[in-house]
Amino acid sequence: MLYARLIIMRLLKAVIVLFLIVIFNFFLIHMAPGDPAVVMAGEAGATDAEFLNQLREQFGLDQPLYVQLWNYVSGIATLDFGYSYRQQTPVFDLIMDRLPATLLLTGTAFVMSLGLGILAGSMAAARAKKLSGSLIMALALVFYATPLFWVALMAVMLFSVQLEWLPAYGYYTVGTDLTGFALVLDIGQHLILPATTLALFSMAVYTRMTRTSMLEASQQDYVKTARAKGLAPGVIQRRHILRNALLPIITLAGLQAGQMVGGAILTETVFAWPGIGRLMFEALMQRDYNLLLGIFFFSAALVIAFNIITDLVYGLVDPRIKESS
């Protein structure tokens, strides 16, 4: 089946890209200032010569570069991303521990930005010649230009400090033994601000794209036919225009995945959300390069996963894909 072959091709491509990133990471470690052993130990963390010598031996840093590259690549193939000496834990464990929070945050923001963006964009397209349509577009432009970390801080200011509606920090209320539904509700409350601020930028992108795409689709002959048939304008908007306008938006959603993952670094930093973005900030503060590069690898993997999902959705929405490619 062609659809299955498409998926296999995408997975193969993903493996190649990830492999290249691993090689890239290897050279970055060697580009970092100073002795790679020092770098891996976390610059100022451990400096006694014996420990460094031990590290050099352990990592085979006395061996030729290609042997080191081979060791590094084969290590990662067995999920060995090295050791974070700063946190005294393997990098892989640290990341796995934080990954669920990031998946929850980016996933929520992804769905939210798509839903609200398409809604706002189709409203703007239907009111293209009216003031309300222009207002939506002006607002979208402002969101597009707003620095994410700033809007996050301002949201904390307004909704947590001034109005005291929502919690400003963390993943759940510490010190309470919530279970079941109460816990879900608690996490949900903590999720609202980070997810909304993370969604804003992509939402603006989708709003603009939906409007353009729908205005283009409304010029098509089949829309004229539908109008001539006497179909209600609302039905034409939803069934004929929007459905066809969705395809470029799904393509765009794949490209926005990188934006989401990058934005999560900033959002998680501001909201102390315990995901890999916050972990990256911590790694950055401590100059823990091993951890930093491990997170970089995982963020790329996350983007690729998002891309594959959007490709699958594209195939479901557009039946032509199954036959033509």
Partner 1 sequence: MNFFARFAQNRGALVGLIILTTIILMAITAPLFFPESPWRMLQRPFLTPFEVDGFPMGTDTMGRNVAAGLMHGAWVSLLIGLVSTTVALLIGLPLGAIAGYYGGLLDDALMRFTEFFQTIPSFALAIVLVAIMQPSVTSIVLAIALVSWPPVARLVRAEFMSLRNREYVEAARLVGQGNTTIILRQILPNAMSPIIVLASLMVATAILLESSLSFLGLGDPNVMSWGYMIGAARTVIRQAWWLSFFPGLAILLTVLALNLVGEGLDDALNPKLSRERS
Binding positions for partner 1, rule: CB under 8 A = 17, 20-21, 28, 31-33, 141-142, 144-151, 153-154, 156-157, 161, 212, 215, 255, 257-259, 261-263, 265-266, 269-270, 280-281, 284-285, 287, 289, 292-293, 295-296, 299-300, 302-304, 307
Least Cβ distance, residue 181 to partner 1 (angstroms): 32
Least Cβ distance, residue 32 to partner 1 (angstroms): 5
Containing 84, the helix (H) or strand (E) segment is strand 83-84
Rounded Cα–Cα distance for residues 34 and 36 (Å): 6
Beta carbons within 8 Å of 224's beta carbon, 6+ residues apart: none
**Which is nearer to partner 1, 196 or 307 (by Cβ)?**
307
**Which is nearer to partner 1, 90 or 294 (by Cβ)?**
294
Nearest to 238 by CA among 219, 252, 254, 217: 217
**Which is nearer to partner 1, 118 or 137 (by Cβ)?**
137
**Which is nearer to partner 1, 17 or 73 (by Cβ)?**
17
**Which is nearer to partner 1, 240 or 278 (by Cβ)?**
278
Least Cβ distance, residue 266 to partner 1 (angstroms): 6
Ranges of H-type helices in the chain? 2-31, 36-41, 49-59, 65-77, 91-126, 131-145, 148-155, 180-217, 221-229, 233-235, 243-271, 276-285, 289-317, 320-324
Full DSSP string of 104-134:
HHHHHHHHHHHHHHHHHHHHHHHTTTSHHHH
Full DSSP string of 18-79:
HHHHHHHHHHHHHHSSS-HHHHHH-TTT---HHHHHHHHHHHTTTS-HHHHHHHHHHHHHTT
Containing 89, the helix (H) or strand (E) segment is strand 89-90
Least Cβ distance, residue 268 to partner 1 (angstroms): 11
**Which is nearer to partner 1, 147 or 188 (by Cβ)?**
147
Least Cβ distance, residue 87 to partner 1 (angstroms): 17
Least Cβ distance, residue 205 to partner 1 (angstroms): 12
Encoded tokens for 27: 């050279």
Token pair 């908007």 is found at 237
Least Cβ distance, residue 300 to partner 1 (angstroms): 5
Rounded Cα–Cα distance for residues 209 and 248 (Å): 8
**Which is nearer to partner 1, 70 or 296 (by Cβ)?**
296
Rounded Cα–Cα distance for residues 25 and 216 (Å): 43
Least Cβ distance, residue 319 to partner 1 (angstroms): 26
**Which is nearer to partner 1, 150 or 222 (by Cβ)?**
150
